[in-house]
Amino acid sequence: MAVGAGTFSALSGAVGDLFSASALRTKAQGNRIEAQSYDLAADLASRNKQFTEQSTEIKQAQLDRSIFQTIGQQKADVAASGFAASGSALDLLRDSAAQGALTKAVTGQQGLIEEAGYEEQAQSYKLMSSAARLSADAAEKSASGLNITAAIKGVAAVASLFP
């Protein structure tokens, strides 16, 4: 039996590989948890997009009602004053309608901008989730490879015991 430096070197390499494999499996587990967190964040961003769509629709409906009330009140004021719906009265109504349309368009555009932001955020989180899963898979493959090299080094250590 020849116990020497080669035996100890092979044994320490095998033990080192086993510990490294264990660390890589732990890292893979952490990466999968990270991926789940990104999945949740992506889902929340998608929900926020939906909430923004609904909120924008509600705001626009409220604006429609407000515009209708303003123009209706102006028409009633003109009629109550005994004026005809002509000249300055029509200018006032046209200006109110234009201002209402502009406000509604700006509100709609702001909603679209918010929706696009949430959509981009959701896509970003989905990409980070995929990257974390790829990293976890790579760590698992590395751990499997280290188990194989540990076994080979263990066999080499045992073989070095025989002349």
Task: Say if residue 2's pLDDT is above 70.
Answer: no
Check: CB of residue 134 under 8 Å from CB of residue 51: no
Angle at 46 between CA 108 and CA 103, to 5 degrees: 10
- Locate the domains of the chain by residue range: 5-159
- Cβ-Cβ contacts under 8 Å for 114 (sequence gap 6 or more): 49, 52, 56
- pLDDT over 90, % of the chain: 71
- Cβ-Cβ contacts under 8 Å for 94 (sequence gap 6 or more): none
Query: Tens digits of per-residue pLDDT, 93-131?
Result: 899 999 999 999 999 999 999 999 999 999 999 999 999
Check: CB of residue 13 under 8 Å from CB of residue 152: no
pTM exceeds 0.75, yes or no? no
Structure tokens at 153: 């080094």
- Give the span between the Cα atoms of 98 and 2, in whole angstroms: 98
Give the pLDDT mean for 37-62.
96
CA dihedral 59, 62, 68, 69 (to 10 degrees): -140
Identify the residue whose tokens are 């109504």. Answer: 93
Give the pLDDT mean for 14-36.
94
- Cβ-Cβ contacts under 8 Å for 119 (sequence gap 6 or more): 45, 46, 49
What's the 3-state SS for 78-95? HHHCCCCCCCHHHHHHHH
